[in-house]
Amino acid sequence: MVGKIILASSSPRRAAIMEKSNIKFEILPSPYIEDHTTTVFSYDFIENLAYNKVKAVIPLVKEPSVIVGADTVVVLDNEILGKPDGYKGAFQMLKKLSGRTHIVVTSIVVMDSETKNFKKQSTTSQVTFKNLTDEQIKFYIDNYKPFDKAGSYGIQEMPEGYIESYTGDLENIIGMSSKVLIDLLHSIS
């Protein structure tokens, strides 16, 4: 592997996944401002977000490094549900997700800061919510304050009785798949 590994994110969930996988890394949050005007989902759109986060960190890097960037979206009926706009936004999103199945897509991009060679991969998982009452939704928002999370929830903190089921990689739903990340890191070296 060339140089050190830099995580271009301030996500505590992504950092925890990398730590749990014994990946030595530094954090350098990307200055890239995400475009949230698009609400129609496409893999190109989310992969470009992750790529642009990585690309924006390259000028800030002082020594040869591999930059890791990721973006996660929650998608219902082909509509991207991003981070909520306050309490009301979180309530409306969770109401939409109630009793429905949606997908969670995380795109990971790794780039060599010297050569600008990069690899990318998107991983898709499915989550089905139980039918939630307004009281359950309010309880979750009041107690877990999911305002920094796509789709207004974190599956790892959902109380019992909220999630019906999920398929695919749980880490992908939380923030990024360690298996995919490790494969990408090996492929870039």
- Name, in order, each residue with C-beta under 8 angstroms of 8's C-beta and a sequence gap of 6 or more: 28, 29, 30, 53, 54, 56, 57, 67, 68, 69
Active site residue 71: yes
- Cβ–Cβ under 8 Å, residues 4 and 25: yes
Q: Are strands 101-112 and 65-76 parallel, antiparallel or unpaired?
A: antiparallel
Nearest partner of 187 among 124, 115, 116, 111, judged by Cα:
111
Lookup result for tokens 């139980």? 130
- Cβ–Cβ under 8 Å, residues 68 and 57: no
CA distance 152 to 63: 37
β-sheet bridge partners, residue 70: 108
* Residue 153: count of CB within 10 angstroms of its CB: 26
Catalytic residue among 71, 134, 148, 183: 71
User: Which residues are the active-site residues?
Assistant: 71
